[in-house]
Structure 1
Amino acid sequence: MIKYECEPCGYIYDPAVGDLDAGIDPETAFEDIPDDWTGSICGLGKDVFVPVED
């Protein structure tokens, strides 16, 4: 699965890990995260995340 990075703060969403603090289970693809989810560092939404290569 592709990881996604928040461009402003650098937070990486890793689908293998998920975001347990926000109730996102491991193995959840970025596309399957609810649209109202926000990154755990800066609180910005999915629209500022870009795919990154390993």
Structure 2
Amino acid sequence: MHRTKEEYVVSEVIELIEYKSWVCLICGWIYNEEEGLPEEGIAPGTRFAAIPDDWRCPLCDVGKAEFAVVEF
């Protein structure tokens, strides 16, 4: 079965979307979307926005509001 042109374009765009890293502004711990956090049930590839709102930094226990995207 062949993919439609639309399916092909969507898959190509998804591959171009880069994973981001988020740093805790309190302790410096970094969440990498590509790696996830499997030991806490967060699968590799999980976007920061998709992590539950009640999730806490594993190092210093602050909430998601204390994280900022890392710009290289």
Q: Does 1:42 align with 2:42?
A: no
- 2:46 is aligned with 1:28: yes
Scaled by the length of structure 2, the TM-score of the pair is 0.70
Partner of 2:26: 8
Higher relative contact order (CA 8 A, sep 6+): 1
Count of matched residue positions in the alignment of Structure 1 and Structure 2: 54
Rg larger in structure = 2
Secondary structure of the residue aligned to 1:40 is: coil
* Unmatched tracts of structure 1, length 5 or more: none
Partners of 1:2 and 1:39 lie apart in 2 by 16
The TM-score normalised by the length of structure 1 is 0.91
Higher relative helix content: 2
CA distance in 2 between partners of 1:23 and 1:16 (Å): 14
Unaligned residue ranges in structure 2 (runs of 5+): 1-18
Alpha-carbon distance, 1:21 to partner: 2.1
- Post-superposition shift, 1:20? 1.5
| Greater share of strand | 1
